[in-house]
Amino acid sequence: MKKLLSVLIITVLISGLRSRADEGMWLLPLIEKLNIGKMTELGLKLSAEDIYSLNKASIKDAIVIFGGGCTGEIVSSQGLLLTNHHCGYGQIQSHSTLEHDYLTDGFWAMTKEEELPNPNLSVTFLLRIEDVTGQVLKGIRPEMTETERNTAINEARAAIEKRAAEGTHYRATVSSFYGGNNFYLLVYERYLDVRFVGAPPSSIGKFGFDTDNWEWPRHTGDFSVFRVYTAPDGKPASYSKENIPLKPKYWLPVSIKDLNEGDFAMILGYPGRTQRYATSWEVGELLEITHPNRIKIRGIRQEILMADMQADQKINIQYASKYSGSSNYWKYSIGQKAGLERLNVRAKKEQIENQFNTWISANPEHKSKYGNATGLIRNAVAGRAEFANAQQYISECFLQGCEILSMNQVASSLISIMKSGDSRRVTDLTSAMKERAASFYKDYNPPTDQKAMKAMIKLYRNDVPGKFHPDFYTDVVDKRFRGDTDKFVDDIFARSVFASEDKLMAFLNKPLLKTLESDPVYLTATSISKVSAEVSRGLSQYDADLTEGRRLWIAALREMTPEKTLYPDANSTMRLTYGSIFNYDPRDAVTYKYFTTLQGVIDKYIPGDYEFDLPQKLIDLNNRKEFGRYASPKGHMPVNFLTNNDITGGNSGSPVLNANGELIGLAFDGNWEAMSGDVAFEPELQRTIAVDIRYVLWVMDIYAGAKHLVDEMTVIQ
Q: How far apart are CA 90 and CA 373, in angstroms?
A: 42
- Tell me how far apart the alpha carbons of residues 299 and 333 are, in angstroms, rounded to a whole number: 11
Q: Are 195 and 565 within 8 A, CB to CB?
A: no
Largest CA distance in the chain: 79
Strands 193-199 and 107-108: antiparallel
CA pair distance 642, 713, nearest whole angstrom: 24
CA distance linking residue 130 with residue 128, whole number of Å: 7
Coil, helix or strand at residue 447? helix
Q: Which of 388, 286, 380 is nearest to 336 (CA)?
A: 286
* Residues identified as active-site: 86, 222, 652
Task: Return phi, psi of residue 188, to 5°.
Answer: -125, 160
**Cβ proximity of 130 and 185 under 8 Å:** yes
Residue 168's CB is within 10 A of a number of other CB atoms, namely: 11
- Other beta carbons less than 10 A from residue 155's beta carbon: 12
Q: In sequence order, what DSSP letters do the residues of 251-298 get, joined into one string? A: ---EE-S---TT-EEEEEE---B--TT--HHHHHHIIIIIHHHHHHHH
Collapsed DSSP state (helix, strand, coil) of residue 88: coil
Angle at which helices 291-311 and 446-463 cross, to 10°: 160
| DSSP assigned state of 568 | P
Buried b / exposed e across 299-326, counting CB within 10 Å, b at 16+?
Answer: ebbbebbbebbeeeeebbbbbbbbbbeb
CB 224 within 8 A of CB 205: yes
Pairing of strands 688-692, 595-597: unpaired
Question: Which stretches of 118-271 are DSSP H helices?
Answer: 133-136, 146-165, 202-205, 209-212
